[in-house]
Structure 1
Amino acid sequence: MINLFAFLVEKLSLLCNLKVFFEATSVQGHERPTQRGHPLRRGDLLEVPRILFTHFGIYLGDNKVAHLIPDILPALTDDRRLLCSVVTNKRLIVGCVYKCATVRVDTLEDFAFGSRILVNPMDAGAGTKALPGEEVARRAEELVGSVPYSLLWNNCEHFATHCRYGRAASRQTEQFCECLKSLIRDQRSVLVTGTLGIISMVFCGIAPSTTLPTILIPFTLWMAG
């Protein structure tokens, strides 16, 4: 049991380290856009750190930013006044669950939501030359409106990189998938899931809802590893 606890702590630490990695690689070596005479330019890729992820957008000029954000409201109403209001956490979470999103234009302040804004931090490591600023902004403007959403395959970072570099990609998705691979490959995952399944059977009783996951999940992890 001590080994199982140590294993869970190790994996939790790995997830925390990924978050620190995202924030550290984003912040290092970049200034606020308004400092030291570096004004924002139309077509700039902007990123702001959030609690669990980094949010991306494309600067359109005139203090406006186009960004893809999960939002359930466009699926429920056509009221422009409601749709133009700032997306709340509840709207965002429900939008994620139902895979509804919109590419919308907000003010720089609403996009930043009090966080530090980083400008074009991907350019150095993208491996692809950024498109001209006017083309980047035009591509973003053409996508404004409702779009399907996927946390892993069509998120705000995919939108921003598609506009900026002509190729949709997401470092956050890649890092998350690598973390999942490491969990699957670690045979201790089989022992952990099997133990949790047995515990659920002890407390909830032997039934298809407890027995099948107890058998199938560890077996799948074992075969995948």
Structure 2
Amino acid sequence: MAALAIKQHNTTVLENLEKGDLLEFKRGVYSHWAVYAGDEKVIHLAGEENDGLNANINSASLFTICGRQFNKAFVRVDDFWKVVNDCKVYKNNSKDRKMSPATAEEIVKRGLDMIGEIGYNLLWSNCEHFASYCRYGKPKSDQVDSFFTWAAVSGAVAAGILAVAVGSSKEKKKKVEERLQTA
């Protein structure tokens, strides 16, 4: 039942796509990104051996594509249905609010011009960076930005808790020393 609902959702998304639209394939803890090239084809950054096409994740490694470590990745054209696999896909041009997209022809051309092996870095050159570069001429990853924001906030909260704990500990130490001096 759920698989049928996902298939219907993805069919509706596919029917409403235009060349140059960005696609976000929800993979659970992360999203895979691609550019719609038309004719049920997508251009995306993926690892070797089918990677980027499924949702298999090995959380033991941070610098991965779909759970597998890579020093390199490939820009390639694949069938929409091969990439979507069993996850939900969404048209996501949300960065249009902040950046100006190129024409559909230019977006697809940028992607096709990069076909082949390129470097991969989870933080600076991932599939979302690639898709954003194709559409806007600028590599941008909201997933990475969100991670850095989360890390900064978490660090600030931890520092605040530590400061309170250290301050409280100093106060206790001072009170103990005062008591010992008066005894």
Matched, 1:44 2:21: yes
Change (3 A) 1:47 1:178: same
- What secondary structure does 2:112 align onto? helix
RMSD over aligned CA atoms reads: 3.0
Matched, 1:180 2:151: yes
Of Structure 1 and Structure 2, the greater helix share is in 1
Show the counterpart of 1:214.
Answer: none
Partner Cα separation in structure 1 for residue 137 and residue 84 of structure 2: 24
Partner Cα separation in structure 1 for residue 132 and residue 116 of structure 2: 18
- What secondary structure does 1:104 align onto? strand
How far did residue 48 of structure 1 move? 1.4
Show the counterpart of 2:168.
Answer: none
Matched, 1:63 2:40: yes
The one-letter amino acid paired with 1:171 is: D
Show the counterpart of 1:99.
Answer: 71
Of structures 1 and 2, the larger Rg is shown by: 2
| 8 Å CA contact 2:21, 2:93 repeated in 1 | no
User: Aligned runs of 1:164-179 on 2, under 5 Å?
Assistant: 164-179=135-150
* Structure 1 moving runs of 4+ over 3 Å: 32-39, 86-92, 188-191
The one-letter amino acid paired with 1:63 is: E
Partner Cα separation in structure 2 for residue 188 and residue 92 of structure 1: 35
Partner Cα separation in structure 2 for residue 176 and residue 36 of structure 1: 27
The one-letter amino acid paired with 2:74 is: T
Matched, 1:118 2:90: yes
Q: What TM-score does the superposition give when structure 2 sets the normalisation length?
A: 0.68
Unaligned runs of 5+ in 1: 1-31, 74-82, 192-225
Partner Cα separation in structure 2 for residue 190 and residue 101 of structure 1: 41
Provide, for residues 152-196 of structure 1, a one-character-per-residue CA deviation record: whole Å limited to 9, x for no partner: 1111110000000111111110110111112222226869xxxxx
Provide, for residues 126-174 of structure 1, a one-character-per-residue CA deviation record: whole Å limited to 9, x for no partner: x112110011001000111111111111111100000001111111101
Of Structure 1 and Structure 2, the greater strand share is in 2
Partner Cα separation in structure 1 for residue 132 and residue 14 of structure 2: 25
Question: Could you tell me the percent identity over the aligned residues?
Answer: 30
- What secondary structure does 2:44 align onto? strand
Q: Which one of the candidate residues 75, 81, 84 is aligned to 1:109?
A: 81
Show the counterpart of 1:162.
Answer: 133
Q: What TM-score does the superposition give when structure 1 sets the normalisation length?
A: 0.56
Partner Cα separation in structure 2 for residue 37 and residue 47 of structure 1: 12
Matched, 1:137 2:108: yes
Partner Cα separation in structure 2 for residue 145 and residue 37 of structure 1: 25
